[in-house]
A and B are shown apart, each in its own frame.
Chain A
């Protein structure tokens, strides 16, 4: 668009804001960059939250949270292949599986690079971390004003 040419619009950006400057769950993304899938656990009531919480435990409202590692391998409990109508930026088929992370958590996640029929119920899947568009911001003079970002899904083990 002429008036916004060359500008980055976070309001048209499908990836989450990342970096300490913009989100209180920045450790989630920092940990992802190290290949770790993490979330927050309440040190008072023991509740494990997903998605991770930046401020309080939704169960007991305690602010006493810690970051814990989740398994990076799991089992596909169900698999779906979306053959048409997938959002821009995603390939067809867009594959989703319900993934059991060792009984700790059940995630409904995308399965990357999965042709029709390649993943079946009962198959093992593993975490995959990939880079997404960097996030520019209004910084101070001389400051590196781009945040490198990642996101995650799973792939067949």
Chain B
């Protein structure tokens, strides 16, 4: 098996965009090629596009050839689309990694994009009614998932004493981290008082506990180690381990109603650590799926950064911040950058690439090993990737 490196990555401006899906594919692709002028569209032999709502919001199936055409890419190996809602981007990286590792392709580009904002805003929550089990969850109004994560938060507070202040601290940290991220949706810091007094969405979750709805795209290029040495003069960043676990789709089948424990993430994390031959204590920097503030707290526990139930105090002590045990969501996370489903996992990988190359906007000094995590659907699938400056 060959070693695989991430050699380029870029994203467009995320937010409410005056741009179509096709425009954003070009913007993200251009940003990716700008990151590394040594690699061009002619070097790409495999191409994966990630997009969830392309049929719904852009009336476009068979997206991969269209996206490749937009970027002047003529893949001679695989050209396809991948979809796993919020984890679409990182799933694309897993597949690209596997293709290269196995020798199926040498240089693979993964583009992730999401166009959600329509001329009338009501279409967004309506389209989201296709994301959980459509016939049995979404018909009860469960599309965008604040009620599910509010339930997680309620249970976590009751079982472990987690507080609303601890939730708010995640938002304050991630907004602070994203303040100078020129591609982020929010780019605005908040105080603890502002977070605590923001509008209630679903108690105990307030507006600043929830990531926004986002249009956006991102792209990365992966290459086998031999090609990577020719195609970049920057420090090599390796993909050391990838894992994904899934245990349910419908709410009725989620852990017998105990939603504050995410066994699926624990399984995915353990697999990724094993493949990468590292432990949670080895991780210097992580981008975890902070779709809601409570998510980051549960993730600290299930990824093994702290004991189960201690996520709240871990956050309160700043152990997930710069200078702490592991710097988490160093570019602002979903809470600050926004969350275009196809793009998020790629954005996380790009930030880890910058951190390990040593050229991040907000740098963790001496970072050698990084982790990304996505959850998707009704907390039903978990995707964990581990990157390293070297393979050992």
Q: Which positions in A face B, CB cutoff 8 Å? A: 14-16, 50-51, 77-78, 80-88, 90, 94, 96, 98, 100, 105-110, 151, 153
Contacts and interface: CB of A to CB of B under 8 A. Distances in A.
Contacts of A109: 140
Contact of B125 (A77, A78, A85, A108): A85
Given A14-B138, A83-B200, A87-B126, A50 B150 contact: no
Most chain A CB within a 10 A radius of its CB, from B125, B252, B253: B252
B48 interface: no
Interface in B147-166: 147-148, 150-151, 154-155
B129 A78 contact: no
A81 B140 contact: no
Contact of B142 (A81, A83, A88, A96): A96
Contact of B154 (A51, A78, A86): A78
B144 interface: yes
A85 B201 contact: yes
Given A51-B250, A82-B147, A108-B252, A88 B140 contact: no
Nearest to A16: B135
Contact of A85 (B129, B142, B146, B150): B146
A96 to B, nearest CB: 4
Nearest to A58: B253
Contacts of A100: 257
A94 B146 CA distance: 11
A50 B154 contact: no
The A interface, classified by DSSP as helix, strand, loop or mixed, is strand
B256 to A, nearest CB: 6
Contacts, number: 88
Most chain B CB within a 10 A radius of its CB, from A15, A50, A82, A110: A82
Given A87-B143, A90-B141, A80 B129 contact: no
A83 B251 contact: no
Given A80-B202, A80-B203, A108 B143 contact: no
Interface of B: 122, 125-126, 128-129, 133-144, 146-148, 150-151, 154-155, 199-203, 250-254, 256-257
B144 A106 contact: no
Contact of B141 (A50, A84, A86): A86
B144 A98 contact: no
Most chain B CB within a 10 A radius of its CB, from A80, A81, A86, A90: A80
Nearest to B134: A16
Nearest to A112: B140
A14 B126 CA distance: 8
A78 B155 contact: yes
A16 B140 CA distance: 12
B253 A50 contact: yes
A84 B201 contact: yes
B141 A96 contact: yes
29 contacts: A14-B138, A15-B139, A50-B136, A78-B151, A78-B155, A81-B203, A82-B201, A83-B201, A83-B202, A84-B201, A85-B125, A85-B144, A85-B201, A86-B141, A87-B141, A90-B141, A94-B141, A96-B141, A96-B142, A96-B151, A98-B257, A106-B256, A106-B257, A107-B251, A107-B252, A108-B251, A110-B140, A151-B139, A153-B140
4 nearest interchain CB pairs? A108-B251, A110-B140, A106-B257, A16-B135
B141 A110 contact: yes
A106 B147 CA distance: 16
A80 B201 CA distance: 10
A108 B200 contact: no
Contacts of B257: 77, 98, 100, 106
A23 to B, nearest CB: 9
A50 B202 contact: no
A51 B136 contact: yes
B40 to A, nearest CB: 40
A86 B125 contact: yes
Nearest to B252: A50
A81 B202 contact: yes
B146 A105 contact: no
A134 to B, nearest CB: 16
Nearest to B255: A106
Nearest to A15: B139
A87 B154 CA distance: 23
A85 to B, nearest CB: 6
B250 A50 contact: yes
Nearest to B207: A84
Contact of A96 (B126, B147, B199): B147
Contacts of B251: 107-108
